[in-house]
Structure formats: structure tokens, C-alpha cells
């Protein structure tokens, strides 16, 4: 369990990373660049945002650490994040998550699986959500792998709903994970 | 057809996982095979599309979680 209280900075720890609620002071040049990086934004299904420092700070400050969180991913011993996870707890006791690894040196290093495992434990055990879900463009193979590797089910295909990394229209996939499914993985050790 | 699909599937997966073909376990699968990570999966999907000469449908792409799934898809693929 964490020592977090609603409205305060959330800190979680994994084997290799520290997760902490970002604050305006974390709006570094690297953080801003992720919002303007075509590849990173395409993985989220967006065009580059054209954000500057003030826009980035306003974005970070939207997160209240009660019903939504914007957690920086910090390799242990380092002061700059390599990416972030955004969490939105919605009506219906479900949570939407988005994960971005902005630092390319960490792509393919199972960062997403490691940090989301801790976040899912937090969401299911401490917040008590019934379901976690996410959406991804069908050409984002790396992200789809991560959903599959953590036992998510593809619950729907929104046909030609988004724009892929290659700029062409593509399907948008909805992935969901129920509390019992996550707990069952914990018991069997599957995917962990 | 089955033997050819098996050989092609092992070759595509070995290339994606960046290992020799002989290292591909018949039970290779997401969550079971350590080297099958997100980048390897991306290489596998792109390699499969290159082999087929077309874009995978969402249903095809979602069906692939193991070597067996890959063989099944190749067995059902035209040509």
C-alpha cells in the first residue's frame, strides 16, 4: 500500500522506477518535446500539439491527484522522467490510462509493463476501481503488445476511427481489464 | 502448406526476436517468451505484412499471441 492521501502527491515504486505526480516544476524541455514529437503523439493518435512551456505547465496542473493523476516515470537515481502515465478515474468506477515513454532509449525495455503493474495494483487495491481500460490505434503494434502482455481483452474495434503513425486511417481498438482478471493473474503469476 | 507455414512462421518470429531459427520454442508466446517484447512484436507485425504483401486487418493482428497463432494465420492466408 502507498501512503498517499487524496489531493497529495502520489508516489509509487517498482524495481527500476519511481512514479511521482508531476508538478509544474517538471515541465522540462524534454517533457515539452514529447508533446511536440510526431512519433510520440502519433502513438496516442494525435498530431504534434505545438505546446510551449506555459501550456505544458497548465496541462500538468489539471491533474488533481484525487480522480486523475499524471505520474512521471523516473529511473531510480535519476532526476528527469523518461515518460509518464496519465490516469483518469471516471464515473462508473473505471479508470482510463495513457502511457507515454518519451525517451526513445527506453523503448522496448518493458518499462510500460513494469510501471503499469504497480499502477494497476494501486487502482484496483487502493482506489477500488472495477475496471481499467485504454484505447490504441491499430497500427501501434508496440502498445497493443503491452495490452496483450498484461491480460487485457480487446473489447471493441472502432473502424477507421483514427489516424495511424503512417498518417493513414486506421481502426481504434478498445482494451479492458477487469479486477478479477488482474487478481487472477497475480495468483498464477501470468505475465508478471 | 502446413510445413511451409511452420517454417515461415519460425523464420518471421526468429527475425523479430533477433535469434537463430533453431532457438524458437514451439510454445513461443507473448508472456512466455522473454525476448518477445513490444519492439519484437512490432518487428513481427511489420515482417508479416511484408511477407503477405498487404496490411493486416485488426482481427488478424489481434489474433497473434503465439507461434501457433502465426502458423494458423499463414495457413489461412491466400497464396
Segment A92-113 shows an average pLDDT of 93
- Chain A residue with minimum CA distance to B46: A141
User: Which of A54-58, A148-152, A183-187, B18-22 is predicted least confidently?
Assistant: A183-187
Give the ipTM of the model, two decimals please.
0.91
Q: Count CB neighbours of A81 within 10 A.
A: 25
Domain boundaries, chain B: 2-74
Q: Does A177 touch chain B (CB under 8 A)?
A: no
Q: Which of A107, A149, A173 sits opposite B31 (nearest CB)?
A: A149
Summarize the confidence of residues A53-74 as an average pLDDT. 97
> How close are the terminal C-alpha atoms of chain A, in Å?
19
Mean pLDDT along residues A29-50: 88
Q: Mean pLDDT in runs of 10 for chain B (79 residues)? A: 87 96 92 92 97 96 96 81
Question: CB A108 to CB B38 under 8 A?
Answer: yes
pLDDT at residue B77, rounded to an integer: 65
**Is the pLDDT confidence value at A78 over 80?**
yes
pLDDT of res. B79: 44
**Above pLDDT 90, what percent of chain A?**
81
Least confident of A44-48, A78-82, A142-146, B48-52: A44-48
Q: What is the pLDDT of residues A152-181, one digit of tens each?
A: 999 999 999 987 767 789 999 999 999 999
Q: In chain B, which residue's Cα lies nearest the Cα of A153?
A: B62
Res. A103 pLDDT band, cuts 50 70 90: very high
For residue A52, the Cα-to-chain-centroid distance in whole angstroms is 22
**Per CATH, which fold does A11-188 belong to?**
Aminopeptidase (3.40.630)
Contacts of A104 (CB under 8 A, 6+ apart): none
Query: SS3 of A190, please?
Result: coil
pLDDT, mean of residues A4-27: 96
A84 close to A116: Cβ distance less than 8 angstroms: no
Domain ranges of chain A: 11-188
Q: What is the crossing angle of helices B67-76 and B2-17, to 10°?
A: 130
From edge to edge, which strands make up the β-sheet containing A94-101? A11-13, A17-21, A68-75, A83-90, A94-101, A131-137, A169-178, A153-163
Q: How does the average pLDDT of chain A come out, rounded?
A: 92
Domain B2-74: which CATH number of 3.40.710.10, 3.40.50.620, 1.10.1200.10, 3.40.50.2300: 1.10.1200.10
Amino acid at each position: 500500500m502507498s501512503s498517499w492521501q487524496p489531493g497529495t502527491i502520489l508516489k509509487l515504486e517498482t524495481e527500476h522506477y519511481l512514479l511521482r505526480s508531476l508538478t509544474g516544476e517538471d515541465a522540462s524541455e524534454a517533457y515539452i518535446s514529447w508533446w511536440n514529437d510526431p512519433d510520440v503523439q502519433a502513438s496516442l493518435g494525435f498530431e504534434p500539439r505545438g505546446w510551449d512551456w506555459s501550456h505544458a505547465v497548465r496541462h500538468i496542473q489539471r491533474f488533481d491527484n484525487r480522480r486523475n493523476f499524471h505520474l512521471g516515470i523516473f529511473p531510480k537515481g535519476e532526476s528527469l522522467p523518461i515518460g509518464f502515465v496519465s490516469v483518469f478515474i471516471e464515473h462508473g468506477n473505471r479508470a482510463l490510462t495513457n502511457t507515454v515513454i518519451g525517451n526513445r532509449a527506453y523503448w522496448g525495455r518493458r518499462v510500460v509493463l513494469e510501471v503499469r503493474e504497480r499502477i494497476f495494483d494501486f487502482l484496483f487495491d487502493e482506489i477500488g476501481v472495477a475496471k481499467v481500460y485504454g484505447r490504441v490505434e491499430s497500427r501501434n503494434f508496440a502498445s497493443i503488445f503491452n495490452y496483450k502482455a498484461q491480460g487485457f481483452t480487446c473489447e471493441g474495434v472502432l473502424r477507421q476511427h483514427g489516424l495511424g503513425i503512417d498518417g493513414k486511417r486506421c481502426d481504434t481498438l478498445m482494451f479492458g481489464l477487469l479486477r478479477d482478471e488482474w487478481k487472477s493473474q497475480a495468483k498464477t503469476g501470468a505475465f508478471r | 502448406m502446413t510445413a511451409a507455414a511452420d517454417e515461415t512462421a519460425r523464420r518471421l518470429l526468429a527475425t523479430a526476436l533477433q535469434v537463430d531459427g533453431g532457438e524458437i520454442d514451439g510454445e513461443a508466446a507473448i508472456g512466455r517468451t522473454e525476448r518477445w517484447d513490444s519492439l519484437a512484436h512490432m518487428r513481427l507485425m511489420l515482417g508479416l505484412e511484408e511477407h503477405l504483401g498487404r496490411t493486416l486487418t485488426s482481427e488478424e493482428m489481434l489474433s497473434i499471441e503465439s507461434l501457433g497463432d502465426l502458423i494458423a494465420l499463414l495457413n489461412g492466408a491466400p497464396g
